[in-house]
Amino acid sequence: MAIIIKGTGGLDTPSINATANAVFTGPVDFTQAVLKGVNKWQVVGSDTNLQSNRNYFANTRSASLTLTLPTSANVGDTIVVQDSEGFASSNNITINRNGNLIDGSARNAILNVDRGGIALTFESATNGFVTRKEQQESQVGSFQGEVSGYTSGGFAPPEVNTIDKFPFATDANATDVGDLTQARQGVAGQSSSVSGYSSGGYLPGTVNTIDKFPFSVDSNATDVGDLTQAREKPAGQSSTVSGYSSGGYAPPLVNTIDKFPFATDTNATDVGDITQSRNGPAGQSSTVSGYSSGGSPPGFTDTIDKFPFAVDTNATDVGDLTQARRQAAGQSSTVSGYSSGGLGPPETNRIDKFPFASDNNATDVGDLTQARRLAAGQSSTVSGYSSGGLGPPEVNTIDKFPFATDANATDVGDLTQARRASAGQQV
């Protein structure tokens, strides 16, 4: 008997001309064959024990799910979990580690991105299951998020390594979802579409560390590179492909603009200078440019600097804040940059806004719920957030203000601890 296999040109077929037939005229043993795509996917709508080398569609429409990893695995065993219904941001998928490590950490993995997914591959007893994201990158700019804001590091006192996360869809308190590699304050925050970054800071002693933590799962950060110089309180900016850290205090004050890529884990390079060496500026990002506003040179400045993402070059002075101040938080809509709070002195609650379309001065468009400096800034697609800060004393407040209208902020939740000089990220 002859077995005829008609080639289809699909990804899982042999390299056979699509118009030809493969004819096996002798004995054929398929007992050890792996049939790709056959019985590989399973739909689950309730808590389930996962099996190695199987793919799962998780139905999150009705409730959160807990999916438990197998107690043991071999090197290369892979499990894929995909949110098939698009409700993971509200009905989270918890991957119970079941005694295994995930990305080298004794933590469960939390999938909280709508339509997102992860692949977990067992690598070793040291690292356990390592993860990769199984989702196309968001089309929203890295300077804005659709799901969550993050506040990382800071000074409580003392310095802390906590990574907090709070939702954008609802007004709620933050939860502790991981740790930076070092407890430190005065860090700059950057965001790609898949990871948050926290760069530089003070231990005590200034550091050049670039930490990265994943958005698709709640996990600790890893050290992925270095800034060109150790410094604290730089401003953070994000393009779609790179993170930037501008200014700061080494000592002395610096004007350096560092850039590091999101696609690979590597050190930053010096790509230009802001117009003044200064400490504690706020960072903003449009789709094409990074902004660094305010700071202390020493004293206080109202300068708004702009530098392009498309080319590596120096910044230019394009406008002024409504008052000279340092240590404000930066937020970004698609059309405007915001600088909220800061030290005048004294501490202020002012929310300034300046346009991205033209080089112009800022206007005062509202107030935070309390005057404070050294807060972390986050941006969703519709609102700006200012979390934590120094009143004094340190506060845990999460404020939110709208981008669509000029209005005061409202208190929408709390961080897990009162602290100042943290970094802000969003997804």
Q: Enumerate the domain spans of the chain.
A: 41-133, 148-426
**Mind listing the pLDDT tens digit for each residue in 177-219?**
999 999 999 999 999 988 999 999 999 999 999 999 999 899 9
Q: Is the pLDDT reported for residue 53 higher than 80?
A: yes
Greatest distance between any 2 Cα atoms in the chain: 91
Q: Which residue has the higher pLDDT, 23 or 315?
A: 315
CA–CA gap between residue 67 and residue 60 (Å, rounded)? 12
pTM of the model: 0.71
* CATH 3.30.2310.20 matches 41-133: no
CA–CA gap between residue 60 and residue 65 (Å, rounded)? 7
Concatenate the DSSP letters of all residues of 162-215 into one string.
EEEEEESSS----EEEEE-SS--BS-EEEE-SSEEEEE--BSSSB--EEEEEES
Percentage of the chain lying above the pLDDT 70 cut: 88
Residue from 351, 355, 423, 358 nearest 384 by CA: 351
> Quick check: do 41-133 and 148-426 share a fold?
no
Confidence category of residue 61, pLDDT binned at 50, 70, 90: confident
Question: Tokens in use for 69?
Answer: 């990893």
**Mind listing the pLDDT tens digit for each residue in 322-378?**
999 999 999 999 999 999 999 999 999 999 999 999 999 999 999 999 999 999 999
CA–CA gap between residue 229 and residue 243 (Å, rounded)? 15
Select 148-426's CATH number: 3.40.50.1980, 3.40.50.720, 2.120.10.80, 1.10.10.60: 2.120.10.80
Task: Tell me the pairing of strands 54-58 and 41-44.
Answer: parallel
Q: Residues 260-274: what's their mean pLDDT? A: 95
CB neighbour list of residue 195: distance below 8 Å, 6 or more residues apart = 212, 213, 214, 215, 262
Q: Residues 113-140: what's their mean pLDDT? A: 74
